[in-house]
Amino acid sequence: MTQLTIYTETDAQTPSLVTEDFDTISAQLQQAGIRFERWQANQPLVDAADNDSILAAYKNEIDRLVAEQGFQSYDVVSMNPDHPQKDEFRQKFLAEHTHSEDEVRFFVRGHGLFVVHIGDKVFSLLCEKNDLISVPANTRHWFDMGPNPVFTAIRLFNNPDGWVANFTGDDIAKRFPLLNN
């Protein structure tokens, strides 16, 4: 189940909010400038669907975002517990960073933890299947896929180079709970 936990940046032990209610999650994230939506496939999709089938199943939603935001490209990325570089990839995403563009991810299957640091608040959002998150450009955040990652996500990009991170050098991510899967 999708879950939002909000902390102050100085206290990773005592959340000010923990909720699984979609309307509350959506409202809290919207107030922080974070886009959060739920999408449904426009055709049946099996867990082992190939990338073309996945993109076709969500074509209407992708086209809507491309038209609204001017995205130049999109793709599908998957991760499973048997991936030989899963630990390297996990560590890369765990450090707090920003991007010069919005970071947009839609979860087709599985889950992942997006943690967004805005002002003195830390928004920890466990995203699940059918969740879309858009972290605004230049917003501090990190992502945890957990030690046993299981997810497939659609990524949308404004930058033709794809995912380009600007690491902040702040070790804040080390102080907050990780995804345990």
Confidence check: pLDDT of 23 > 70: yes
Residue 97 half-sphere exposure toward CB, CA atoms < 13 A: 19
| Res. 155 pLDDT band, cuts 50 70 90 | very high
CATH number of 3-175: 2.60.120.10
Backbone phi, psi, residue 66, to 5°: -60, -45
pLDDT tens for residues 98-139?
Answer: 999 999 999 999 999 999 999 999 999 999 999 999 999 999
pLDDT at residue 165 in the model: 86
Rounded to two decimals, the pTM is: 0.94
> Looking at per-residue confidence, does 122 or 181 come out higher?
122
